[in-house]
Amino acid sequence: MFNSLQQQPADKILALMQLYKDDPRENKIDLGVGVYKDASGQTPIMDSIKKAEHLLWETQETKSYVGLTGTPEFSEAMINLLLGDKFDRNLIASAATPGGTGAVRQAFELGKLANPALRVFVSDPTWPNHLSILKYLGIPAEPYRYFDAKTRSVDFPAMMADLSNASEGDIILLHGCCHNPTGANLKAPEWDAVIELLLKSGATPMIDIAYQGFGDGLDEDAAGLRKLVSSVPETIIAASCSKNFGIYRERTGLLTVVSHNKDARNLHQSTLAFLNRQNFSFPPDHGARLVTMVLSDKDLKSDWIEELETVRKSMLSLRSQLANELQKVSGSNRFGFLVDHRGMFSRLGASSEQVSALREKHGIYMVGDSRLNIAGLNSDTVPVLAKAIVDCGI
Ligand code: LMR
């Protein structure tokens, strides 16, 4: 039976990870996969997470199953982080998932269950795995223009024009903050305009938020999401703990459905439990438990916030170092957009030939669409990258 299997397309980001690993050059620079690295190139375990892990090891007495949607404590802690403590909990159904990708996958499955003719409007560009999962599930992806390649910022009029084609029964997928892959984000008045459009069209927003705390701060990065959730009748949120808690391989995420119709909550909650059961049964618990412990303990939480702030500020500092260095070596301001972008990524705007030249000539790895992971840099490699960018004619 397996003779009929066809080679599936390789994931571009993961394929690049492998290419980097296989490159024997000692001075190679990895700006590919979205994993935070400190100045020494390590992806450290946060101290707050280590402490929670220690405590868990000492106190945990069973590894028996928890609920199909994870523990209520994890949901509560994450909802607090995402929506704040004032938001009415009676409007919320939620389920722990294997990472943010698990939440995205379950969200699409939920949409399809509710509407077999579901279409999902996705920013052009978006995280490639959004498109890949949609294709796998047979759900049409409707790209909406998002990124202006000239200004390297959001082409908001074009985005709104394309989103005006969405209607009730469609999902509009938005990135909560730190847009992946471009780094260009909506401003507050633009979130307001999107909310207006959603109210008019009846389409359902889905917010993928994988980098809360990496942009302007924990609350700032959730501001658009919070306003939207309070304003529109239904919202889906797919949240990841991989990056902001640095627990990538623990696969920790949360899928949340907010509905202003209180009577619908139980149905939503049992549907999320059903979907988990069909796909993987119980979600992973270890990472979710660590996150719960960190967010529920005053000291651990303040340690974590401090660590996250260090990460955020180091990326902001690398952004300005790189923009300054590029200004020096190129003699122009054309890379000024780097300081306006937020999060781990920026799309540089290089051709695929130029991206290949960076890799082949200089051992600098970035995704083929010229997305670079700012956190892959340090103050020694910033000047190396800047020179190489100019050398490759970018
Ligand atoms: C990325 O975009 O690099 C990360 O979200 C990692 C991944 O799974 O693709």
Residue nearest to atom 4 of ligand 1 (CA): 34
CA of 33 to the centre of ligand 1 (A): 6
Q: Is 135 a catalytic residue?
A: no
pLDDT for 30 equals: 96
Residue nearest to atom 6 of ligand 1 (CA): 34
CA of 128 to the centre of ligand 1 (A): 9
Q: Is 38 a catalytic residue?
A: no
Residues 6 or more apart whose Cβ sits within 8 Å of residue 241: 78, 99, 100, 247, 250, 252, 253, 254, 287, 288, 291
Do residues 239 and 210 lie in contact, with contact meaning Cβ atoms separated by under 8 Å? yes
Within 6 A (CB) of ligand 1 lie 13, 33-34, 127, 129, 180
Q: Is 23 a catalytic residue?
A: no
Pseudo-torsion of CA 175, 181, 182, 183, nearest 10°?
60
Quote the pTM value.
0.97
Domains and CATH numbers, the chain: 11-44+313-391 (3.90.1150.10), 65-296 (3.40.640.10)
Among residues 155, 162, 208, 303, the one annotated as catalytic is 208
Pseudo-torsion of CA 339, 344, 349, 353, nearest 10°?
140
Among residues 184, 210, 222, 350, the one annotated as catalytic is 210
Work out the burial of residue 25: count CB atoms within 10 Å of its CB; fewer than 13 is exposed, 13-18 middle, 19 or more buried. exposed
Alpha carbons within 13 angstroms on the beta-carbon side of residue 138 total 5
Q: Is 88 a catalytic residue?
A: no
Q: Digits of tens for pLDDT over the chain (394 positions)?
A: 999 999 999 899 999 999 999 999 999 999 999 999 998 999 999 999 999 999 999 999 999 999 999 999 999 999 999 999 999 999 999 999 999 999 999 999 999 999 999 999 999 999 999 999 999 999 999 999 999 999 999 999 999 999 999 999 999 999 999 999 999 999 999 999 999 999 999 999 999 999 999 999 999 999 999 999 999 999 999 999 999 999 999 999 999 999 999 999 999 999 999 999 999 999 999 999 999 999 999 999 999 999 999 999 999 999 999 999 999 999 999 999 999 999 999 999 999 999 999 999 999 999 999 999 999 999 999 999 999 999 999 9
Residue 175 β-bridge partners = 208
Residue 8 β-bridge partners = none
Question: How far, rounded to the nearest angstrom, does the alpha carbon of residue 357 sit from its chain's CA centroid?
Answer: 28
CA of 130 to the centre of ligand 1 (A): 11
- Strand bridging mode 120-124 / 141-145: parallel
